[in-house]
Amino acid sequence: MHGMDIGIDLGTATVLVYDSARGIVLREPSVVAVNTRTGDILAVGEEAHAMLGKTPATIAAIRPLEDGVISDYKTTEQMIKYFLKKACPTSVVKPRVALCVPSLVTNVEAQAVVDAAVAAGARSVYLIEEPVAAAIGSGLDISRPNGNLILDIGGGTSDVAVLSLNGIVCKTSIKLAGDKFNAAIVRYVRGRYNLLIGERMAEQVKMAIASVDEAAPEATYEVKGRNLAAGLPARQTITRSELFPVVLELAAEIRDAVHSVVERTPPELVGDIYENGMVMTGGGCLLHGLDTYLSRMLKLPVRRAENPVESVAVGTGLSFGYIDQLVDGFVTSSTHKH
């Protein structure tokens, strides 16, 4: 049936929707603009994202997901409803929906996601853990008795897992990803230049010049913000080399998380990992030099998935084909109360 199976990558920073018939049909920021007096939803996605940091007192542009989990249930429900309606506007039959969640999600958090999707109009809801979705979306064959190491760096969480025989052998999830890199850049610019910049500006800096490769050629970027001493608009040129220690510190934490998973992996599978290497997905893995840094520190081959940003959403959409096969990392909605 056309458009009846929908996969949603419900990210802290971005929501991607995958339709089984049409592929990726929607990619929008997970931001909602709310009227603080009435509680009415004013805008969702792109429109709301444009309002971040620019709203009057009566309007709040909020991210209803924090560190990969729901922090504002009612707003998340409205957001899922909006995206489902936008993704399948002509659908008469309610869709089956698969949503991906961080690998260390609690039962309460998982229940909140299921409830939000059911309230938003899903016929049945399945939850799939991010690393499993990332592996399926990257085209890895997880059914063989062969160890695959996957690292998914999103906006709120970084998930690491070793997969084999349709199940997760070992995993971890840390609340450190793209958003923490942005926050570190904001803190650095404030501390070093007494200049306050916004989250969006920090993200632009990260994408343009941030690098964890010490040998990377020098690059500069001009940031605009408010001088905290004068209270007036100001601009400052920032270099790649001065940001290097700022981003390296966070990259080292991601490296430690991967290391801890490899340490707990059975030796036979570790042998496979050193042969197969590690696959990285998620927008956070696009940080300049991260693949070479992790490869050097962990002493194993590291590569980015072909389309790292869309891998999790694609894998979530394709996961319906694995419903009866996955041993671990896939939670059917029947285990949760509707």
Establish whether 156 is an annotated binding residue.
yes
Establish whether 268 is an annotated binding residue.
no
Q: Which two tokens stand for residue 284?
A: 């956070």
Helix (H) or strand (E) segment spanning residue 277: none
Establish whether 204 is an annotated binding residue.
yes
What are the start-end ranges of the E strands in the chain? Answer: 5-10, 14-19, 23-29, 32-35, 41-44, 59-62, 65-66, 69-70, 96-101, 124-129, 148-153, 158-164, 167-174, 195-196, 220-227, 233-239, 278-281, 302-304, 330-332
CA distances from 122 to 115, 125, 214 (A): 10, 7, 48
Establish whether 205 is an annotated binding residue.
yes
Establish whether 155 is an annotated binding residue.
yes
Q: Which two tokens stand for residue 14?
A: 């971005």
Establish whether 75 is an annotated binding residue.
no
The whole-angstrom separation of Cα 157 and Cα 163 is 19
Establish whether 14 is an annotated binding residue.
no
Residues pairing with 101 in the sheet: 129
Residue pair 16/6 in contact by the 8 Å Cβ criterion: no
Binding-site residues for ATP: 155-157, 203-206
Binding-site residues: 155-157, 203-206
